[in-house]
Amino acid sequence: MVLAVIKPFKLDEVREALSGVGVQGITVTEVKGFGRQKGHTELYRGAEYVVDFLPKVKIEVAVADELVERVIEAIEGAARTGKIGDGKIFVSPLEQVVRIRTGETGNEAI
């Protein structure tokens, strides 16, 4: 399971890059969070306020082991702006995968 948290405006580029390496499906969730950038201040109607949690997009991709490195490279290349807050990629093993419709398991279910 590859999980990436990226800037929202990079979603289309990342989706295209993942399609290019053979990924057939992804799950996308709109999330909020912060890392080293610790939010930022904004001005609204003359008052300054702190935005602690920044809008991000979480992408989850279940792939076979042999695709993991290509998926990481695709996400990294498409999501990078070179500025703080580009995001993170997390990789963890999947214990089991089952396709509900057919009952297929393992790589066939991915």
Q: What is the DSSP string of 66-105?
A: GGHHHHHHHHHHHH--SSTT-EEEEE---S--B-TTT--B
Q: Under DSSP, is residue 18 helix (H, G, I), strand (E, B) or coil?
A: helix
> Domain map of the chain by residue range?
2-109
Vertex 23, ends 58 and 11: CA angle to 5°?
A: 35
- Residue 37 clears pLDDT 70, i.e. is over it: no
50's CB contacts (< 8 A; 6+ apart) are 39, 40, 41
Rounded to two decimals, the pTM is 0.84
Q: What is the pLDDT of residue 62?
A: 96
CATH architecture group of domain 2-109: 2-Layer Sandwich (3.30)
Tens digit of each residue's pLDDT (9 = 90 or more) over 52-93 = 788 999 999 999 999 999 999 999 999 999 988 899 999 999
